[in-house]
Amino acid sequence: MTGSLSTSTTLTAAVVLLTVVLIAYGGTFVLKVTRGKAPANELQRSFYRAGHAHAGVLVILGLLVNLYVDLAGVGGLWRTLSGGVLWAAILMPAGFFLSVAGSDPQRPNRLIALLWLGAASLVLGLVCAAIGLLTAG
């Protein structure tokens, strides 16, 4: 299988797999927050948990989408836009974490827009990957 992956897919996978180390490290922070060993209000605790969970799930989904698209020979715009899934893995957690930054926020700040931008990127990436897969060949 190694020989059938494109160089760009292999490189992307390597970089994304290294980000899992950062996600795991972030999990230690979330654990401190949930145990009360790092200051956070209830809004922050819930957003930190959601951001961490979304990061992990979306990285795995992004890797799978990238793999399927590459192995199926999807090209052009469908291939490019399917990368939106990996962009969502950055944007959505950033929206969760950055929108509640600060001391005792009572509601998310304007950076919550990153969450919605990530959601749009996710939907676009998934739809384009699916169309690309259905029309490949």
Phi, psi of 56 (to 5 degrees): -65, -50
Q: What is the average per-residue pLDDT within 2-9?
A: 81
DSSP, res 92: H
Q: What is the average per-residue pLDDT within 71-98?
A: 97
Radius of gyration of the chain (CA): 17
Q: Is the distance from CB of 20 to CB of 85 less than 8 angstroms?
A: no
Residue 109 DSSP SS3: coil
Residue 1: pLDDT band with limits 50, 70, 90: very low
H helices present in 35-112, as ranges: 42-71, 76-82, 84-98
Q: How far, in Å, CA of 44 to CA of 22, rounded?
A: 19
Q: What is the average per-residue pLDDT within 92-99?
A: 98
Contacts of 61 (CB under 8 A, 6+ apart): 85, 89
pLDDT above 80 (res 80):
yes
pLDDT above 70 (res 26):
yes
- The whole-model pTM stands at 0.92
Q: In angstroms, what CA-CA distances link 90 with 3, 30, 106, 130, 136?
A: 29, 17, 24, 21, 28
Q: What is the average per-residue pLDDT within 94-102?
A: 97
